[in-house]
């Protein structure tokens, strides 16, 4: 049984600030994350042909690592985190992932020894627990999955993460059909159950290997909603629906920290400000410097409380200014220098507010993740923290209330479609039972029937 959060880490929203976490995390070579300064976290993907063999992959990651470390030294950056998000070949063959981690860490140690640069290596294992037709969250695939974590930890990775997929089969079906109960069930109930299982086991591995259980993100679900929602003119999904999925995801992602993770939470978790308000763990975030990977209408607001500042992902190749990892890590480092300067000058909170306000009224998603609203969603979660279903429902309703307040203020201007979608999702939520067992029972019946690939054994049911 994991210990659930039922209170807030911070007494008030204004206490939250970038570069400062209530519970900083020591990691890697001389780095302490959330201890009064921000650090860039560069993330990259190998070129397509690099996946052909283990040797090619290792070479690719050696080039990437050397490029980043050299550029950080060239521009005088005091610290850097490298995040290697596994390609499937590395997680399905744990020895490959371990070999890449070893190669990368060897290079990082050389730079640390020679220049004293503080650095850490995050490996994000791929959630490989699927066969072609079904999620296979438990069983043989799970053994390989855990082995991949352990191999990376033993061979040099300092921070372990994953973007886990529990509940995605129901979520994918529901998000395309405006099915609010299904979104809540997929993320808030099934996703939470899976999170509690995997993070209990990952935390055991990190304890054994002396590494850091860094955390998860609801990339597979809330980010899918955000991605489908797109920009202002896209008509694929109401942004008001997307922010409800995001609010629900906070309760799910929090389960990782309840099961033993200590942070820094992963960059693409746009729910991370909510997580930080409840747990006090350091968080990575992405925004304007992740436009190389996707567009999300939240370029600045996400920087408001970050401890690591990331670019999400960029394919490794050449640009005029060097390789992509050199260009993007340099941009991230200058952003961090700006934040760190404001902290030294005692202007951090002003900068935080400017960052938040520059996006707050752009979109309902940015409005809700703006730190003072994120804090309110955190309170809604903590209020019923012991009940995964109720806290997800609370968060969803609170996010609807927050958006309504924004509309009523006249500052958050939405289309009729967006406000209609908001009214629909809120009505759906309010109509749901408060009885978690009843919701579970009804949902199991409904989605077993409607979603052909939904298998109860994945959740120990």
Partner 1 sequence: MLDLKLEDIDGILVRYNVALEKEMTPDEAAEELYPKDELIYPIAKSIYEGEEDDVVDGLKAAIAAGKKPIDLINDALMVGMGVVSKLYDDGIIFLPNVMMSADAMLNGIEFCKSQTTDVPEPKGTVVCHVAEGDVHDIGKNIVAALLRAAGYDVTDLGRDVPVDEVIEAVVKDKPIMLTGTALMTTTMYAFKEINDKLLEKGLKLPFACGGGAVNQDFVAQYDLGVYGEEASDAVKIADAILASGNDIEKLRAEFHKH
Residues that bind partner 1 (CB under 8 A): 13-14, 45-52, 87-89, 130-133, 172, 175-178, 224, 228, 232-233, 235-238, 315, 350, 353-354, 356-358, 360-362, 371-372, 409-411, 413-417, 421
Q: Which is nearer to partner 1, 33 or 425 (CB)?
A: 425
Q: Which is nearer to partner 1, 53 or 74 (CB)?
A: 53
Q: Which residue has the tokens 């390609």?
A: 87
What's the CA gap between 125 and 99, in Å, rounded? 14
Q: Which is nearer to partner 1, 263 or 287 (CB)?
A: 287
Q: Which is nearer to partner 1, 176 or 430 (CB)?
A: 176
How far is residue 117 CA from its own chain's centroid? 26
Does a cis peptide bond (omega within 30 degrees of 0) precede residue 331?
no
Q: Which is nearer to partner 1, 130 or 442 (CB)?
A: 130
Percentages helix, strand, coil for the chain (3-state, rounded to 5) are 60, 15, 30
Query: In terms of DSSP bridges, do strands 318-319 and 322-323 run parallel, antiparallel, or are they unpaired?
Result: antiparallel
Please report how close the Cβ of residue 238 comes to partner 1 at its closest, in angstroms.
6
Please report how close the Cβ of residue 152 comes to partner 1 at its closest, in angstroms.
17
Q: Which is nearer to partner 1, 367 or 459 (CB)?
A: 367
Q: Which is nearer to partner 1, 41 or 418 (CB)?
A: 418
Torsion angle of C-alpha atoms 393, 398, 274, 439, degrees rounded to 10: 0
Please report how close the Cβ of residue 370 comes to partner 1 at its closest, in angstroms.
8
Please report how close the Cβ of residue 135 comes to partner 1 at its closest, in angstroms.
9
Please report how close the Cβ of residue 170 comes to partner 1 at its closest, in angstroms.
12
Write phi, then psi, for 25 (nearest 5 degrees). Answer: -125, 125
| C-alpha radius of gyration, the chain, whole number | 21
What's the CA gap between 415 and 405, in Å, rounded? 15
Please report how close the Cβ of residue 389 comes to partner 1 at its closest, in angstroms.
23
Q: Which is nearer to partner 1, 158 or 194 (CB)?
A: 194
CB 239 within 8 A of CB 365: yes
- How many other CB atoms sit within 10 Å of the CB of residue 418? 19
Order across the sheet with 284-286: list the strands: 212-216, 159-162, 118-125, 79-85, 39-44, 308-310, 284-286
Q: Which is nearer to partner 1, 270 or 389 (CB)?
A: 270
CB 57 within 8 A of CB 51: yes
Please report how close the Cβ of residue 385 comes to partner 1 at its closest, in angstroms.
25
Task: Put residue 3 in one of left, alpha, beta given phi > 0 → left and psi -120 to 50 → alpha.
Answer: beta
Please report how close the Cβ of residue 401 comes to partner 1 at its closest, in angstroms.
18
Relative orientation angle of helices 388-409 and 371-383, to the nearest 10 degrees:
150
Q: What is the DSSP string of 123-173?
A: EEE----B-SSSB--SSHHHHHHHHHHHHHHHTT--EEEE---TTHHHHHH
Please report how close the Cβ of residue 355 comes to partner 1 at its closest, in angstroms.
11
Q: Which is nearer to partner 1, 153 or 351 (CB)?
A: 351
Please report how close the Cβ of residue 160 comes to partner 1 at its closest, in angstroms.
20
Give me the count of residues in the chain.
Answer: 461
Write phi, then psi, for 189 (nearest 5 degrees). Answer: -105, -60
């Amino acid at each position: 049984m994991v210990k659930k959060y039922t209170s807030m880490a911070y007494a008030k929203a204004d206490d939250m600030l970038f570069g400062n976490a209530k519970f900083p995390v020591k990691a890697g070579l001389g780095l302490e994350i959330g201890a009064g300064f921000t650090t860039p976290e560069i993330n990259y993907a190998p070129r397509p042909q690099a996946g052909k063999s283990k040797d090619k992959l290792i070479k690719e990651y050696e080039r990437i690592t050397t490029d980043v470390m050299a550029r950080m030294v060239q521009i005088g950056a005091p610290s850097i985190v490298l995040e290697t998000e596994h390609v499937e070949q590395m997680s399905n063959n744990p020895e490959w992932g371990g070999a890449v981690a070893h190669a990368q860490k060897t290079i990082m140690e050389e730079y640390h020894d020679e220049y004293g640069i503080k650095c850490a290596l995050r490996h994000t294992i791929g959630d490989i627990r699927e066969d072609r037709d079904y999620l296979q969250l438990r069983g043989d695939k799970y053994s390989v999955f855990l082995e991949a974590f352990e191999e990376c930890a033993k061979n040099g990775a300092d921070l372990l993460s994953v973007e886990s997929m529990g509940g995605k089969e129901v979520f994918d079906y529901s998000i395309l059909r405006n099915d609010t109960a299904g979104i809540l069930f997929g993320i808030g109930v099934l996703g939470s159950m899976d999170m509690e299982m995997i993070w209990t086991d990952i935390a055991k591995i990190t304890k054994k290997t002396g590494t850091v259980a860094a955390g998860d993100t609801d990339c597979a679900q809330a980010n899918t909603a955000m991605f489908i929602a797109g920009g202002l003119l896209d008509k694929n999904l109401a942004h008001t629906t997307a922010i409800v999925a995001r609010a629900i995801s906070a309760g799910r992602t929090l389960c990782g920290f309840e099961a033993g993770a200590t942070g820094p939470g992963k960059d693409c978790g746009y729910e991370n400000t909510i997580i930080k308000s409840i747990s006090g763990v350091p968080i990575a975030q992405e925004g304007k410097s992740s436009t190389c990977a996707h567009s999300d209408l939240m370029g600045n607001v996400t920087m408001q409380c970050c401890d690591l500042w990331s670019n999400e992902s960029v394919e490794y190749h050449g640009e005029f200014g060097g390789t992509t990892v050199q260009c993007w890590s340099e941009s991230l480092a200058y952003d961090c220098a700006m934040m760190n300067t404001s902290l030294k000058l005692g202007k951090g909170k002003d900068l935080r507010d400017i960052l938040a306000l520059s996006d707050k009224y752009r979109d309902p998603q940015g409005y809700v993740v703006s730190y003072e609203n994120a804090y309110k969603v955190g309170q809604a979660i903590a209020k019923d923290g012991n009940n995964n279903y109720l806290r997800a429902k609370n968060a969803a309703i609170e996010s609807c209330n927050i958006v309504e307040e924004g509309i009523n203020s006249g500052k958050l201007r939405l289309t009729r479609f967006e406000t209609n979608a908001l009214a629909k999702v809120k009505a759906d939520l309010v109509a749901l039972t408060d009885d978690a067992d009843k919701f579970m029972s009804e949902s199991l019946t409904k989605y077993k029937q409607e979603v052909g690939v939904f298998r109860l054994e994945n959740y120990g049911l």
